[in-house]
Amino acid sequence: MSVRESTAASVRRVAVFAATTARPTTERERERRRIAIMCLPFFALATVAGFVPLAMLVRMSVAADVIWIEGWSLDAWRTLLTEPTYRRVAWNTVWFVGLATVVSVVLGVAVAHVLEKYDLPFERVVVAAVSFPIALPGIIVAILVIAMLGRQGLVTNAIAAVTGTSAIDLASATAITGLFLGYVYSLVPRATMVLRGTYAEVNTQAEEAARSLGASRWETFYRVTLPEIRPGIAAATILTFRSGLAIFGTVLLLQSHYVITLQIQREISVGTYRPDVAAAIGLVYVVFIVAFTFVGLRFVRTDTVTL
């Protein structure tokens, strides 16, 4: 079959597919139409809120205005690749958010374990308290951190009083720690929510079988529970890392560590106004997130965990 014939055949197949979806006669075709109708709003939204802004970002990264009037250049991309500042910001972002993700997922496992394995008094109150930070804007989290670990913070002054050190020195020394705790505070609930769903699927009788066979509580967790919740841990890691990368309010207020979101804000601030670089950073960010999610999903069994 020639290329022309095969193209014509493909076009015919697509046309038949579209026609049968629009006017279905079999149950399979009717199901396809239901799927199409249900997915339509999402694709409409994805187009307006996803594809169009992405196309705009591509354009902004190479041209300040309409391409055929202004022309285009790769200056922004050249800047991104050559200036050490951007490599430093990228590395800062990855290690900081990566560490916050690891700590948050470990804490999430512990919290999910306690919530799912034990009959807690006031369990609903505990669940509400654990999930509460999800609803908090980043700015509020930053204010909480300042209230606790700032120069006049409760914890800072308590430690200063006990150790005899200066509260100002202490607050400066722990500035990045405060930001880290703010990140963890925001991310733990996300990890916990995903892991709770996974924990609910854990075969408790298999855990009891392990105990009866001589495994301690820790060995049972390590050898039976942990392998079972591994897909949940992978899912929680993906979600938490992605959420961590997107945190902006907290870091904007605390400014104790330069990460990607803060750098984008800098690029579009008065004085250093470089929207083309901001757009290029944004595109790198999107590509990284998509690639990370695809790689991460290889470790997630979609029948046990959804993202």
Partner 1 sequence: MSEVTLESLTKRYGDELAVDGIDLTIRDGEILGIVGPSGCGKTTTLRTIAGFETPTRGRVRFDGVDVTHVPPEERHVGLVFQSYALFDTMTVRENVAFGLKMRDVPQRERRERASALLEMLDIAALADRRPTTLSGGQQQRVGLARALAIEPHVLLLDEPMTGLDAALKARLRTEIRDLLADLGVTAIYVTHDQEEAMAMCDRIAVLNAGTVEQVGTPSAIYRRPANAFVANFIGNSTLLTGVAEDGRVDLGFAELEVAAATNGTVTVAVRPEAFEFEREGSIDAEVTSATYLGDRTQLTATLPDDTTVALHADAAETYRTGETVSLSIDDTSVHVLE
Give the interface with partner 1 as residue ranges (CB under 8 A). Answer: 203, 205-206, 208-216, 219, 223-224, 227-228
Closer residue to partner 1 (CB): 175 or 215: 215
- Rounded to a whole number of angstroms, the minimum distance from the CB of residue 20 to partner 1 is 38
65 vs 219, beta carbon nearer partner 1: 219
Q: Of the two residues 44 and 206, which places its CB atom closer to partner 1 in the complex?
A: 206
Q: With contact defined as beta carbons under 8 Å apart, do 263 and 92 qualify?
A: no
Please, what is the minimum distance in Å from the beta carbon of residue 102 to partner 1?
22
Min. distance of Cβ 229 from partner 1 in angstroms? Answer: 11
Alpha-carbon span 248 to 259, nearest angstrom:
9
- Half-sphere exposure of residue 20: CA atoms within 13 angstroms, side-chain side: 13
Specify whether the CB–CB gap between 278 and 269 falls below 8 A: no
E strand spans, the chain: none
Residue 279 CB partners (closer than 8 Å, separation 6+)? 56, 57, 58, 59, 60, 61, 76
Residue 117 CB, nearest approach to partner 1 (Å): 13
112: helix, strand or coil: helix
Separation of alpha carbons 24 and 22, rounded Å: 6
Least Å from the CB of residue 194 to partner 1: 20
Nearer to partner 1, 13 or 301 (CB): 301
Smallest distance from partner 1 to CB 228, Å:
7
The whole-angstrom separation of Cα 105 and Cα 275 is: 35
Nearer to partner 1 among residue 86 and residue 199 (C-beta): 199
Contact status, residue 206 vs residue 156, Cβ threshold 8 Å: no
**In whole angstroms, what is the distance from residue 108 CA to residue 117 CA?**
14
Give the span between the Cα atoms of 153 and 148, in whole angstroms.
4
Chain centroid, CA 123 distance in Å: 27
At 229, list the tokens: 């919740």
Q: Which lies closer to partner 1 via its Cβ, residue 227 or residue 271? A: 227
| CB closer to partner 1, 229 vs 262 | 229
Minimum CB separation of residue 208 from partner 1 in Å reads: 6
Nearest to 138 by CA among 188, 185, 194: 185
